[in-house]
Amino acid sequence: MGRHSKYWFSLFFLFLSLPILLAQTEGNNEIDSLKQVLQQKQHDTSKVKVYVELGRLTRTADYDLSRSYLNKAEKLAKKNDFISKELYIQFTVLHGTHGNSKELFKYGNKALKIFENNDPSSSIKIYVAFANFYADRSKVDSALVYYEKGLELTRKHDMKGREAGIISNIGSVYYESGKYDLAGKHYIESIKMLEESNSTDARRL
């Protein structure tokens, strides 16, 4: 890999890392605030949303804690016959992040049935969760199948920020598999798309 390619990769990873580092600090403060909200009197459906958000904020650092929050949300949702789209998304992403394939596809496929034809944004998140699961295990072909499903929806519904994020994910898959020219091509395409759309959402979805 030439010096020019390394330069692009360094710039790209720096570009992605800054908002993530800031988000980690903000996330800790938000967790404390949400815990205080739970101490207040509120309707069960509001508690579902709080528990789901706590699950999202803790999912990377603590699988058991995140699952505990999401289980509480699921229990309250069932009690009130309430369907939370975000609950299914967070269950899917949590299990995918931590390699629980059985639960990943259980919740992900259930979510896709709910979102089908009426919520492309949520469907994209599920497809990306499936793709990321395969990408983390170096199963390139399977990862690309689901990234392409996500891309198809972003293009159909003109979601430039999401499209750029998925293209950067594809670049990472190629980079990890040693296909540096393809990786660089996708990273540059992602950056150009973000510049044209004035979006900064190129983080891994």
What is the residue type of 149?
A: K
CA dihedral defined by 157, 161, 167, 173, rounded to 10 degrees? -120
Q: Give the pLDDT of residue 22.
A: 44
Q: Within 10 A of 79 (CB to CB), how many other CB atoms are there?
A: 10
The whole-number pLDDT of residue 30 equals 87
- The larger pLDDT score, comparing residue 29 to residue 50, is at 50
Q: What is the mean pLDDT of the chain?
A: 86
Q: Could you tell me what percent of the chain has a pLDDT over 90?
A: 65
**What does the pLDDT read at residue 74?**
94
pTM for the full predicted model: 0.78
Question: For the segment 134-166, what is each residue's pLDDT rounded down to a tens digit?
Answer: 999 999 999 999 999 999 999 999 999 999 999
Cβ–Cβ contacts within 10 Å for residue 130, how many? Answer: 25
Residue 83 pLDDT = 82
Digit-coded pLDDT (tens) for 64-111: 999 999 999 999 999 988 888 899 999 999 999 999 999 999 999 999
Q: How confident is the model at residue 19 (pLDDT cuts 50, 70, 90)?
A: low
Q: How many residues in total does the chain contain?
A: 205
pLDDT of residue 70: 96
Residue 36: pLDDT band by 50, 70, 90 thresholds? confident
In angstroms, the CA 33 to CA 37 distance is 6
Sign of CA dihedral 7, 8, 10, 14: positive
Long-range CB contacts for residues 192-199, cutoff 8 Å, separation at least 24: 193/160, 193/163, 193/164, 193/167, 194/160, 194/161, 194/164, 196/160, 197/160, 197/161, 197/164, 199/160, 199/161, 199/164
